[in-house]
Structure 1
């Protein structure tokens, strides 16, 4: 992004991390432009927390990934790249038995 470091207080990533070519790079960039003590909100489809990808999802994943979305992504695998700079304050199942989740995190000050 063409923004200076620490530009925004709040960032919303709505259904974006599972469709971009590089989710880790995207999340890292979000954190770069987020001010210290700023917050980001992610709403997207991820493998439910603490669970493995379901058989149906495992079968459909390559097909849907080819169409531009990844239904088998684990948010915490992506979050590892920024876990030293951020802390998760909420991880809430929103719909479809936890497939869609609302995750909120703060950038450490």
Structure 2
């Protein structure tokens, strides 16, 4: 493990160190680093799934990651708008408020 604590180690490494370790090594070290999909595409897939499954706790982290991976603000908003018709209005409306906060906090 790196000297700098990862998000996983900061958020739940104290209670679930093994889960934090495999999150770092498998999810973000293997899955996210696989070259079959670009990080940008993985971010779009991830935020689409999170919105569709109404997993709002994870949204801020993954919206920031999506912006870092080259997904634009307009693309995020259009993804949310598109999903309003497939995932439902409540997940889309909640996602919009989370996106607004992320955009304000990141200045994007």
Identify, as 1 or 2, the structure richer in helix: 2
Same fold (TM over 0.5): no
| TM-score category of the 2 structures, normalised to the smaller one | 0.3 to 0.5
TM, length-normalised to structure 2: 0.35
Q: Please identify the structure whose Cα radius of gyration is greater.
A: 2
TM, length-normalised to structure 1: 0.35
